[in-house]
Structure 1
Amino acid sequence: MFERYEAGERAVLVHIDFSREGEREDFDELRLLASSAGVQACGEITGKRSSPHPKYFCGTGKAEEIAHLVRAVEADIVIFNHALTPAQERNIEQICECRVLDRTGLILDIFAQRARTHEGKLQVELAQLRYISTRLIRGWTHLERQKGGIGLRGPGETQLESDRRLVRERIKTILKRLEKVAKQREQGRRARQRREVPTVSLVGYTNAGKSTLFNRITAAGVYAEDQLFATLDPTLRRIDVNQVGPTILADTVGFIRHLPHDLVAAFKGTLTETREADLLLHVVDCADDRCAENIESVNEVLAEIEADEIPVLLVYNKIDNLDDAVARIDRNDQGVPVRVWLSARADVGIELLFEALTELLGQAIADLTLVLPPAESRWVAKLHELNAVQQVEYDEQGQTVVQVKLPERDWQRLLKASEGRLHHFIRE
């Protein structure tokens, strides 16, 4: 359905610096994205603007400069390090006489190359369809359908309208299939909750070393390369943590600055492993110059997928690339681990990570007895939904006495949903 360019095509990379901090992108990241897509960068154009040009994004003069470079180096494609509107994309294509791709399109292309599982391929296709649905252009007018009969003569359905209808129908089909896969995942999660198996999810900026750490801990042998979005499909493995027992570790897709919303929406199913985790291991490339900005970008995506309330342990990876860093655990004022410094590639500090996991997961289960008056009995049903109820009794006043055991994360969510009222019903 998609005319994807072949890997190895020659490309001109375009990067424009804007004065507003929130709109800035990293040119080095574009080079890495292009390399990950298998594109050969044969020319680069940079510039500065206060705001995007409405017609050409980069301005008329800069667009002509790009067109001149395209012809000089015989490039097949122009890749922008920004999100372009469909109109801007078409206008630049006309002046450059070659294909134009924006940052979102490039990320989608990498995802299309990396997807391995049935679910991953469906999610990528869904994101691509949502992306191209705004980029279908009017053409093929010779294929307008003629309708016969009085009052029905006319152009009928144009090819553009037909394409849009086909895209809408395909999106509906994919959503139904993904819903089915999501239900299967949910059954697996519920089974783990019934067995009270905690789940730990690896998150972090793309190329932070999550898959290398995952392989080091689990010997899973998942694909790990020094490139952006090496991992796309989630992988689950069992590990044993001291004093906690069997624990599920999930390796997930990496995040990136200004991750396209269509991708976040399409990968909601995959990211559910992150949303439902008891603990997030936020893997950080501590040798990266933009380390702090990358952490902020990941936190933004976590907030977008409603995973920002889950306890987080920062894992500062790649300390072998720093001169003075040593493997250690940093703790807060209460003595709780908040940061672990290690190197997955050099196998340094892994035992410290397990030490921190033992401490954090041991505290992550809430074991409580609630005494609920009749007016608050609806919370019993909520607790049953979470498979948290251990025992139910009724006292002489008609109150429900419920013994519950559930992940601390779920208890905090219940507290928030009850606006703190449940806290008053805990039996001391």
Structure 2
Amino acid sequence: MFDNLSDKLDKAFHILKGHGKITEVNVADTLKEVRRALLDADVNFKIAKDFTTRVKEKAIGADVLTTLQPSQLMVKIVKDELTELMGGDAVGVNLSGNPSVILMSGLQGSGKTTFSGKLANFLTTKKNKKVLLVACDIYRPAAINQLHVVGEQIGVEVYSEPENKNAVEIAQNAIKHAKANGFNVVIVDTAGRLAIDEEMMTEIANVHKAIQPQETLFVVDAMTGQDAVNTAKAFNDRLDFDGVILTKLDGDTRGGAAITIKSVVNKPIKFIGTGEKMEAIDVFYPDRMADRILGMGDVVSLVERAQEQYDEEEARKLQKKIAKNEFGFDDFLSQIQQVKKMGNMKDLVGMIPGASKALKDVEIEDDAFKHIEAIIFSMTPSERKSPALIDPKRKARIAKGSGTSIQQINQLLKQFDQMSKMMKMMQGSGGKNLMRMMGGMKGMMK
């Protein structure tokens, strides 16, 4: 996420390294590179120019503390300005209605239907809401079926009228159904449309007028860059939506949309999509995103994700095993499953401060643990419980069964032994444990 932008900004700040103070000359050179980095990330020229002007005004004459280097002060100023540019504070979704109605809008192929499912899953699991999904895409072939598949996957009811070609009527009937059956939230998935398609834009405006939603969200593909910002403006002029959803932020995105969309349409980014799984949805925190863009990671989000998967009873059992030196491969497999539930590995590693820079040439795939799992599944129950039993003969059998080499088995056993010792030393250190555990698992993935 934003790897190219992060690299370019890091190079820009290097200009100030070795300087004793910030001057007009060295700050001008730095900000020239910052502006170039923003433009390469598809940020609008005027926004990039205004941004660097504000940074310059704050940087020139700023007192550099004896504990800080000029480059560190510049990073702090840029971070604060980026946070402000992206909205300042996180803005939640309005759930004040009974039921609360959320209308989804956006271009074709922006990921509206998938994100409707992610949002429904988020509100069900995190906010304890009873959610109804509504299929109002009456044009795209199989759109209704797709929403039903998504609904079945997350255990959420889907309302549809396959024979009805009136989106306004479907939406109104769905809200009646929701009121009669005790639903807290109704998410209306509409057809994708182009801002220049007057007939389609009139249709969604009519749906909006008829159902009076508490939230109208504009879903946009972050990979479209500045085009996404221009499209958002065109939609906002017609719908006056309440917030933006940025999808596909896990892809090869340049970041321009995330950085500038708030300043163009004056509407907050409320959620981001960070992967294909239904759990791959995050509330958008401008300050955390600024940290990630500047290569500082996002420890708060990482710990929050870990806490969601944290099982107190299981943790107590695991602690006892570690204390008694009984931590085995079955326990490790359980830990891997918990880490995998936290999200895709590339995104998780990017939340660790400095990890993106250290691993920028390492391709981290979602199935990064597959060879470890294959090795463990090829062990007998007694071998998983007591790894010390694994002798050369057993290693050969495990390697053959898992499709790996004896060298890989040896490497895993060595790393597992080191990790077991590390976990015993770190018992009770809270969030720091997680960072070290992720570091250990990161090494095993390689």
Normalising by structure 2, what TM-score?
Answer: 0.33
Please state which structure has a larger fraction of its residues in helix: 2
Please state which structure has a larger fraction of its residues in strand: 1
